[in-house]
Amino acid sequence: MTEVRETIEIGCPRREVWVALADFGTIAQWASNVDHSCLTTTAGEGLGVTRRVQVGRNALLERVVEWAPGEALAYALEGLPPVVRSVTSRWLLVDAGAATKVTLTSTIDTGPRPPQKAIARVVGRTMRKASRQMLDGLKAHVEDQR
């Protein structure tokens, strides 16, 4: 497995950052790399909630697999090419004085063989860039809401 981790500090309390993350269907409002997003489940929050995201020509489903209000949110990506066994993205929020440290970790599983690990590294580079865009967008969105 390959793990990609990016961190940013947002100049707002954790609860304000959580409000944006917890509004799971609206990621397209603040993530510049997401063209469209919407919920595909009737429940708006919690385990099992699923959203559809459009990134360019690619459509993915993201299903919540961890929901700890104000602390952590993780989701599994579905609809990836078969060469990618699984990808999970996890947002972690930690108090940093009056600010919030936000870490986005993506775990990529393409298999144990060397060619599969090479694919994981390529996917990891793409995920790192996407993570940075999402973190920057979240920071701008939350800080602009103040």
> What is the model's pLDDT at position 21?
96
CA angle centred on 50, ends 49 and 55, rounded to 5°: 150
Distance of CA 21 to the CA centre of its chain: 9
pTM above 0.85, yes or no: yes
CA distance 139 to 13: 12
CA distance 108 to 61: 16
Residue range 47-59, pLDDT digits in tens: 999 999 999 998 9
- Which CATH number is correct for 2-22+65-144, 3.30.530.20, 3.20.20.100, 3.50.50.60, 3.40.50.10800? 3.30.530.20
Contact 89, 75 (CB under 8 A): yes
Residue range 12-37, pLDDT digits in tens: 999 999 999 999 999 999 999 999 99
Contact 105, 92 (CB under 8 A): yes
CA distance 59 to 20: 22
Tell me which H or E stretch contains 19: helix 14-22
Over its C-alpha atoms, the chain yields an Rg (Å, rounded) of 15
